Structure 1
Amino acid sequence: MLRFSDILRPQVLAYFQTKFQSFLNELPSYLMTACEGIPDGQQQAYLDIIVLLRHRRDDINARVTGLFNEKWQNFQQLAHPPQEQGTPVSALSMDSIGLVGSDELELNVVIETVSTRLLHQADQVITDAFNRLSALLPALKYADQLPFHPKVLLHLVPECFGDNNLSTLQKTVLLKQFSTLLDMREVVSMVGHALEQAEVPVPVVAARVSEDSSFVEEEEPDLVDVLRDIRDLNQKNAGGGSADGKGGSNSSGQVTELNTDPNSPLLQTTTTGGIVVDPARLVQQAAHFAQISQSVASVPLMPQNIFPLAQEQLIATTELMTRLSKLQDIQPLTPVAVNADIPSVAEVREHIRGQLQNDEDTVEMIGQKDTDIINLVSAMFDYILDDQDLPTAMKALIGRLQIPMLKVALLDDQFFKTEKHPARLLLNSLAKAGVGWDEKAQASDILYKKIEETVFKILTDFSSDMALFVQLLADFNKFYEEQQVRIALIDQRTREAEERRAKAELARSEVQLVLNQKLTGRRLPMAVIRLLQEGWRHVLYLSFLKDGKEAESWRQAVKVVDALIWSMMPVKEDAAWLERLKSVAPKLSNSLKKGLVSVNFDPIKSESLLREIERVHQETIDGLETPVVEILTEDQDVRADGVDRISVDQAVSGADSNVRSVVLPKSELVDLYQGETLPASDKYVQMVKHLKVGAWIEFSATDQLERHKLVARIRSMEKLIFANRRGIKVAEMSQMHLAVEFSQGRARLVDDQPQIIDRALQSVVGGLNQLTA
């Protein structure tokens, strides 16, 4: 364990210090921006932090490093914990259990919420580390005892500011800003490597049941067991149901996807990958909603300042539905382009609380079952409105559906129990359609208008009839499928055009490469260079495009180049070579003519070039000297005294007969990217290598986030082609360039199949399970 700590601690410390310095550097600018548009009285809380940072930054830096080291020392001490006497349950007094202060509770809720979100990046590795280390350290009871747990790292932020009288609001501002810089994926990579280097073993879970299956090892009851038994007894006495949860029944008989066994997991995955949950069973965990949802914590569903002698009165679900309908009627129906405000979950809950009567005689309360469902929906929408895969405009529209979805959940428990509920399917479809939203063109975008029309239809027409969602779902899916077919055709045309362009570029490069290899360094008559560069290169180019390098047509075209060069390189005093030239020249001329005709080369120019070749051949046979030029590439283009070297294109198009040397162009493909590179084994390089066509990427290199879809991958050139949602090409880049963008945080992969309800439920119920564990 100590070796593991010695390996990991300096790595995490260096990473944390880097992020913390960036946090302190960016904090004044962030706070000044946050001050814009808020009342002067509220601005002072932000400005006080800037003043504190200016005067105490060195102390803060020193304190945070000391606190970090202290967390690691506490972790290392788990290897030798002090011997303590356990306290029997019977000796515990309820008077000894103190209440946490409201400010501390609020701050803990923020840390729990942010930590839960960060854990999505690290949950698997941290769980693995906890299991492996807890097998070696019996004193390690909880994952958040690990010094690299996000909750521990987040706690360091308010603690490092010391006793400076910061309010809960100020500490919350600091925490949320720091959390935007903290990327747990980098930390878990260090943890994984350290576990392997330190050779921390994977524990083997021992069976708790003996060979005789009728015997199970008994355990001492603990406080949690006692409290759970008390809770179950109270539920039985209050509700008349059985303590094991089997007393209730569902008269509809329509729940076919949810396992209602009380011993089954609270959150279940269906055969199609969907997420279902029974909200009735959440009563066991209702107390934890405030710890996973900031909105539930800040706005409880009960009136404030209740009069001491007021009589509590529960409002029926039907009356609650009537009041929610009144709130639904005042939801904005203006386009997002006009009003982009996103109704927060806390604001919606405040509206609900505001409708509860509270005077000296009566205080209205919402029933526990209805409260649990509203809390679940609130926590779910907290996740949805914080989901980075949803564009801002989409969040603004979905945020307006909070009241209708609350009504759906209260009216029909199938909303959570089955993934096929029409309201749930419709919300998922709207979120999926909004992934590639072009924010800049939303006012004129027909998809945006259709989503907006659907949302407004729900707000104006939904009362209690679920048939509306069935109708809207069918209508929207038909529209979206037609859109997808049209966009798929555009994507296909873009892909084919780009592949043709890439193949043409590759063919030009390959042809020039062959000519450079055959001609460089030789001294040949200008007629040969002119024929190859002006005419025969087209024969090679079309042969490559049509059949590729492995085809017989390509090999024959290259052989003609070899034969032509051979015929222009006489062997002095070799009668046999001369006799062979007399035999080959007519055949070679005929092959050249046929090749030029096959590519529809200009007949007049073709005749002129072939006459020049025949003239040179005749001069060679007659023993006459023919003027020649030296052939170089761009890399050899070093001008010598008195020697004027020009490009081959200038030479073949000009009439100057005194050219003594020509320069051939380079044959390599133009590299799209000239910046930083990563090793082939890098995880981002591998991720880009396996990226599928159709994936959405969000780029943040500019001031505005932009989302592009990968529509083509040109593997021969390692080039990627991107288009917007309407199928219009917007960018191209190399695979390495995209990998670097990923590594620098300027690009991220967007989930293009966002089953938003499933992901929200998984996050909410997963958070509850972690807290109760």
Structure 2
Amino acid sequence: MQNDGKVVPLNKAAADNANQTPLARLPVVLLQVRDKAAQQLRQGLQALFDNADDTLFEMADKAHNNVEQNTFFEAMRDLRLKRKSIERGFLERLNEAFVAIGQYEIAEPTVAAPVNYDKLELVANDDLERTVALDAMVGKVLARDGLALGQLTARLNALVLKRLDDATNPLGPAMVCDYFLQAGRNLGVEIKVKLIVLKLFEKYVLADTDQLYAEANQLLIATGVLPELKAAPARRSADRAPARPAQRREDAPSAGTQPGAQLDESVQEVFGALQELLHQLRGSVAPKLESAQEAQPISTNDLMRLLSHLQQYVPASQAAQDDYDLRHQLEQLLTRVSVKSGRFRVIGVVDEDVINLITMLFEFILDDRNLPDSLKALIGRLQIPMLKVAVLDKSFFSRGSHPARRLLNEIASAAMGWGNRDDYQRDSLYLRIEQIVQRLLNDFVDDTAIFSELLADFLAFTADERRRSELLEQRTRDAEEGRAKAELARQRVQQELNSRLLGKVMPLVVVRLLEEAWSKVLLLTCLKHGDGSPQWQEGLTTMDDLIWSVEPHDEPQAHERLLQVVPGLLKALREGLTSSAFDPFATSEFFSQLEVLHVQALKRDARQPAAWAEGQEPAALVAVVEEIVLAGHGDAPQVQVRLPADDPGMLQVSKLRTGCWVEFVEDEDHRQRCKLAAIIEATDKYVFVNRTGMKVLEKTRSGLAVEFRRGSVRLLDDALLFDRALDSVVSNLRRLKNK
């Protein structure tokens, strides 16, 4: 999701402040507003979860069948388990949103962006239901408390350089809903349960926005921020205003400002700042003629015709694009036009600035290491269509939600996990991007609505792909967590076996039973009930009784105790082996041999405890001199390298977060891009998946640190492509200007 917040002026103060830490950029009063709001929102969330159990239990009680009832019970359990993480995630996103409004940068931040409630994209029915519900919730808040929110937005705009509106206000209903959606995105519940939870969110969190905005406004008024704005009247539950439709994000004005004027002012402000930096490049696109005549700029319409002509001859291959210079192509066309008309024709100043800026942006894009080479050629062919959009609409540079800009970002994001493959031209993603590029080159003249159409289509396509990959990714995570749990249980069972058998001489049949059969009973018990459960203790007791029953004893009461222990021991052994589905034939053979051992023990002469009864074949004895190692999953153990916590490689590993993309490099021709799907703390494993969600790699923490140190793995930058490009270009232009 992207942020529609306006870009700040590119002045020297902004550049100087860019080196400060994020929190230092926020005035103290804004930190107070944030903390006060966080306290109220936290209380609302706590009330939500406190009442969720009762609500879901009531729904389960009214369920029509067992399946529906179980759905609500599972949802109750899921909410309880994830309550703390959702509360923490919500408050983290609130904090990030406040940090973002204090950052001085040309590109919109990618964190805590508001949901696009004003456009129902081509989504599945479940997503559509959720979007409609969210739209209604946001609309109700705007209808009830729109005036107080507008005043808060105006006061925030007086303190930060970024242009905010009600939808990008960190305390606006769109943003608050998005914090909750993002924090709860891992809830594994059905859509009807999600809708119930959203209603609870509306009831316990959004219902008190009047208090939220009133307290925030009062804090700001107390420090002299726009005290002249008339305070919004207090709202009572009995006299709430009738609901009205929610305003579109780009149309939501700050107090006292006309929407259209605000948008135009922001667009002109940003583009004007860019033009100041581009001034030094002017004159680079001009016909190569010596003429005494005064230069006559061509119209924007004529420029669009020239670009449409060039659009039909855009090279397709990467090699040809490397040699393709758009400005040189325009120079040649202008030279021909000048010669034919007998007048010295040039491109107007504004249009030339746009050409230079777009050219520099695409130079960055085609040199970006985060873009796979196999897709650079396709994206490079979009240079002229994007230039035409920028010529027609300067908000392309200032509005993060601009369809053309967003289409470019979405294509780059979808391609993040792309690997260099020989059969890429048969891949569905590559084919879809190729269709988009070809459609723009063939059909785009000057109607920018085509970008909205292609964006909606591409979002529907990527949403479908993402759902499939997330499903497989979740299965991968579940499997890895299951493996980790099984490994810990295996080590626990192994520890108990060795503590009892290592260094002892025991009948071979008993050692084999404990190692091959009873270990599985204990393993299943540990996995199902845990190693602190009564069932686990019973399993250990059975093992202890079995070992004691086949050992020689010289104490007088041993005979009586053996008579008492054996019946219960045999019963416990039989039930345990049956529950673990142990081979019944092997079980029968074992009990036959165990019976012989117990009979010999009962007939043994108390004065000769080590002797076997007359006529009985002594059992085969073994000395357990090596540690028992139970079979695992067959994975070869990875060599662990001990590194200090402040090792550069370990510090880089500590920055990895679930969901980030990395690239492993064997050599120039063999690179593998994958996403960190899970960090298994118990076994110190980092699990990576490919673009489809399938597991491709598994690394230990220290193993990853070593690879970071030798440069064979690097973290990919998943920030928005256009925004990174614009930020880089602006930085370069500033350096040129200051030379």
What's the counterpart of residue 464 of structure 2?
482
Whether the 8 Å contact between 2:665 and 2:712 is mirrored in structure 1 is yes
Partner AA of 2:500 in structure 1: K
TM-superposed CA distance for 1:737, in Å, is 1.2
Q: Give the CA deviation at 1:493.
A: 2.0
Which of 705, 709, 714 does residue 743 from structure 1 map onto? 709
Does the 8 Å contact 1:401/1:455 carry over to 2? Answer: yes
Q: Any idea what the Cα deviations from partners look like across 1:144-176, whole Å, max 9, x if unmatched?
A: xxxxxxxxxxxxxxxxxxxxxxxxxxxxxxxxx
Q: Which residue of 2 aligns with 1:356?
A: 334
Q: CA 1:585–1:124 in 2, change beyond 3 Å: closer, same or farther?
A: farther
The match for 1:307 among 290, 294, 297 is 290
In the TM superposition, 1:298-697 aligns within 5 A as: 300-304=284-288, 306-332=289-315, 339-341=317-319, 343-344=321-322, 347-357=325-335, 362-440=343-421, 441-572=423-554, 574-623=555-604, 657=620, 663-666=626-629, 672-674=637-639, 676-682=641-647, 684-689=649-654, 691-697=656-662
Q: Is the 8 A contact 1:688 1:735 kept in 2?
A: yes
Tell me how far 1:280 sits from its aligned partner. Answer: 6.6
Q: Secondary structure at the match of 2:688?
A: strand
User: 1:557 is aligned with what amino acid?
Assistant: G
Contact 2:515 2:630 in 1 (8 A): no
Which stretch of the first structure deviates more once superposed, 666-675 or 268-277? 268-277
Q: State the shift of 1:611 in Å.
A: 2.7
User: For the residues of structure 2 that align with 1:481 and 1:281, how far apart are their CA atoms?
Assistant: 32
Q: 1:505 to 1:368 in 2, by over 3 A?
A: same
Residue 554 of structure 1: CA displacement? 1.4
Q: Deviations over 1:327-384 (max 9, x none)?
A: 001124x5xxxx3336249611111111112559532211111111112212222222
Displacement, 1:692?
Answer: 2.9
Quote the Cα distance in structure 2 between the aligned partners of 1:439 and 1:352.
33
Partner of 1:727: 693
Identify which of structures 1 and 2 has the higher relative contact order when contacts are C-alpha pairs closer than 8 Å and 6+ apart.
2
The structural deviation recorded for 1:123 is 10
SS at match of 2:321: coil
Root-mean-square deviation (Å): 3.8
Where structure 2 has 5 or more consecutive residues not aligned to the other structure, the ranges are 1-14, 25-152, 176-248, 251-262, 612-617
Confirm or deny: 8 A CA contact 2:286 2:347 kept in the other structure: yes
1:707 partner SS: strand
Aligned-partner Cα distance in 1 for 2:339–2:689: 60
* Secondary structure of the corresponding residue to residue 355 of structure 1: helix
Q: 1:267 to 1:434 in 2, by over 3 A?
A: farther
Contact 1:302–1:353, Cα closer than 8 Å, also in 2: yes
- What is the one-letter code of the residue matched to 1:511? V
* 2:597–2:619 contact (8 Å) kept in structure 1: no
Tell me, which stretches of 5 or more residues in structure 1 are unaligned?
1-121, 132-256, 629-654
731-740 or 474-483, larger mean C-alpha shift: 731-740
- Residues 279, 416 of structure 1: 8 Å contact kept: no
Using a 3 Å threshold, how does the CA distance of structure 1 residues 675 and 586 change in structure 2: closer, same or farther?
closer
Give the residue type in structure 1 aligned to 2:299: A
**Cross-structure match for 2:678:** 712
Alpha-carbon separation, structure 1, partners of 2:542 and 2:621: 27
Quick check: which has more Rg, 1 or 2? 1
2:373 and 2:700 map into 1 onto residues whose CA distance is: 29
How far residue 559 of structure 1 moved from its aligned partner, in angstroms, is 1.6
CA 1:285–1:458: 2 relative to 1, 3 Å: closer
Deviation track 1:597-631 (CA, whole Å, cap 9, x = no partner) reads 22222233212212322322221222267989xxx
The answer as to whether partners of 1:267 and 1:765 remain within 8 angstroms in 2 is: no
Please list the CA deviations of residues 396-420 of structure 1 after superposition, one character each: whole Å capped at 9, or x if unmatched: 1111111111111111122123222
Structure 1 residues 656, 366: closer, same or farther in 2, change over 3 A? Answer: farther
1:155-304 to 2 correspondence within 5 Å?
Answer: 278=267, 286=275, 288-289=277-278, 300-304=284-288
Equivalent-residue separation in structure 1 for 2:402 and 2:18 (angstroms): 34
Query: What amino acid is aligned across from residue 628 of structure 2 in structure 1?
Result: P
Change (3 A) 1:720 1:660: closer
**TM superposition shift of 1:772:** 5.0
Q: Is the 8 A contact 2:552 2:610 kept in 1?
A: no
Query: Given the alignment, which residue of 714, 728, 734 partners 1:763?
Result: 728
- TM (norm. structure 1) is 0.57
Q: Is the 8 A contact 2:684 2:701 kept in 1?
A: yes
Contact 1:312–1:365, Cα closer than 8 Å, also in 2 = yes
Counterpart secondary structure, 1:700: strand
% identical aligned pairs = 37
Distance 1:268 1:758 in 2: 18
Q: Please tell me whether the aligned partners of residues 525 and 627 of structure 1 are also in contact (alpha carbons under 8 angstroms).
A: no
Question: Is contact 2:275-2:353 (8 Å) kept?
Answer: yes
- State the shift of 1:124 in Å: 9.6
How far did residue 484 of structure 1 move?
0.6
Which digits, 9 at most, give the CA deviation of each residue in 1:475-526, with x for residues without a partner? 1111110111111111122222233333333333332222112100011122
Deviates more, 1:313-322 or 1:708-717: 708-717
| Structure 1 residue matching 2:541: 3-state secondary structure | helix
- In the other structure, the counterpart of 1:47 is none
2:709, 2:270 → 1: CA distance? 42
Q: Distance in 1 between matches of 2:426 and 2:432?
A: 11
Counterpart amino acid of residue 414 in structure 2: A
**Equivalenced residues, count:** 485
The whole-number CA distance in structure 2 between the counterparts of 1:262 and 1:560 is 74
Q: Residue type matched to 1:707 in 2?
A: R
| SS class of match (1:701) | strand
Paired residue for 2:227?
Answer: none
Q: Deviations over 1:302-349 (max 9, x none)?
A: 123x315244221111111100100001124x5xxxx33362496111
Q: Quick one: which amino acid aligns to residue 674 of structure 1?
A: V
Distance change >3 Å, CA 353–CA 675, structure 1 → 2: farther
C-alpha spacing 1:707/1:271, structure 2 compared with 1 (3 Å) = farther
Cα pair distance change 1:284/1:578, threshold 3 Å? closer
SS in 1 for 2:344: strand
In structure 2, relative to structure 1, the CA distance for the partners of 1:271 and 1:407 (3 Å cut) is farther
- The one-letter amino acid of 2:688's match is F
Change over 3 Å in CA distance of 1:685–1:448 after alignment to 2: same
Between the aligned partners of 1:264 and 1:359, the Cα distance in structure 2 is 52
User: Cα gap change, 1:742/1:627 in structure 2, threshold over 3 Å: closer, same or farther?
Assistant: farther
